[in-house]
């Protein structure tokens, strides 16, 4: 699911204002867009003290990649777990396909044993 906090975006939803977004288990602040299928979040960048980072008068945007979870009001545990299981299954299938395309590695014994 892709969700945006920008009312002008085609991905905007009223639940975006009440959702919590996590990347690799860490809650994200100041998100403007989150996509749990493609694994990225667009957000305002933070400085070392957790405040918005500015370049001149403009707040800087940041893209964070990883395992994205979007939790929204009314989402029960079963729905969340089903989504997580589907993502984990898709990730493991993709990894398996990658491994199957790698050439086989044969052990080479330089001593000739």
Task: Give 10-residue mean pLDDT values along the chain (113 residues).
Answer: 91 85 92 94 93 94 94 67 59 59 45 45
Q: Tell me, what's the pLDDT at 16? A: 81
Measured from the Cβ of residue 6, the count of other Cβ atoms closer than 10 Å reads 12
- The vertex-76 CA angle with 7 and 40, nearest 5°, equals 45
Give CA–CA dist 23/38, Å, rounded: 12
Q: Tell me, what's the pLDDT at 91? A: 57
Q: Tell me, what's the pLDDT at 93? A: 61
Q: Tell me, what's the pLDDT at 107? A: 41
Q: Tell me, what's the pLDDT at 57? A: 94
- Which is nearest to 39 in space by CA: 79, 77, 76, 94? 94
Q: Tell me, what's the pLDDT at 110? A: 45
Would you call 28 helix, strand, or coil by DSSP? coil
pTM surpassing 0.85? no
């Amino acid at each position: 699911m892709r969700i945006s906090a920008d009312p002008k975006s085609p991905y905007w939803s009223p639940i975006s204002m009440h959702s919590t977004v996590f990347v690799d288990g860490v809650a994200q602040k100041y998100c403007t867009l989150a996509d749990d299928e493609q694994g990225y979040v667009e957000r305002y960048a933070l400085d070392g003290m957790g405040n918005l980072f500015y370049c001149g008068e403009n707040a800087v945007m940041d893209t964070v990649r990883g395992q994205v979870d979007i939790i929204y009001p009314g989402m029960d545990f079963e729905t969340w777990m089903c989504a997580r299981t589907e993502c984990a299954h898709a990730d493991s299938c993709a990894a398996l396909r990658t491994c199957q395309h790698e050439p086989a590695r044969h052990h080479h014994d330089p001593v000739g044993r």
